[in-house]
Amino acid sequence: MAAVSLSVSTVKPLGDRVFVKVSASEEKTAGGILLPDTAKEKPQVGEVVQVGSGKRNDDGSRQEMEVKVGDQVLYSKYAGTDVKLGGDEYVLLSEKDILAIVS
């Protein structure tokens, strides 16, 4: 079996799915206490790096995606599938799991 090399440029989400690069989690609290890796919460903010072609409607047409590459988004806490590519963390999630675009 041949090995497959995956990178962000080779992964294209299908339908209404979005590929998001996860932002770095907080290293310390507001009071200055350093957090160990086990105590850090999974961040819910990231940057959209790839988008799918959109959800297919009942009549066969495609619904345009509301987010685009480069948008900073806030997404649901337990949404999506975690993917690690080249040392960076990404989340593959459905557009409906995106709560807001952060400006």
Q: Comparing 73 with 6, which gets the higher pLDDT?
A: 73
Phi, psi of 27 (to 5 degrees): -85, -30
Q: Select from 102, 7, 23, 15 the least CA-distant residue to 56.
A: 15
Name 35's Cβ contacts closer than 8 Å, sequence gap at least 6.
26, 27, 28, 29
pLDDT in tens, 51-80: 999 888 899 888 989 999 999 999 998 889
pTM of the entire predicted model: 0.77
What length is written for the chain?
Answer: 103
Tell me the sheet residues that pair with 45: 74
What is the H or E stretch that residue 67 is in? none
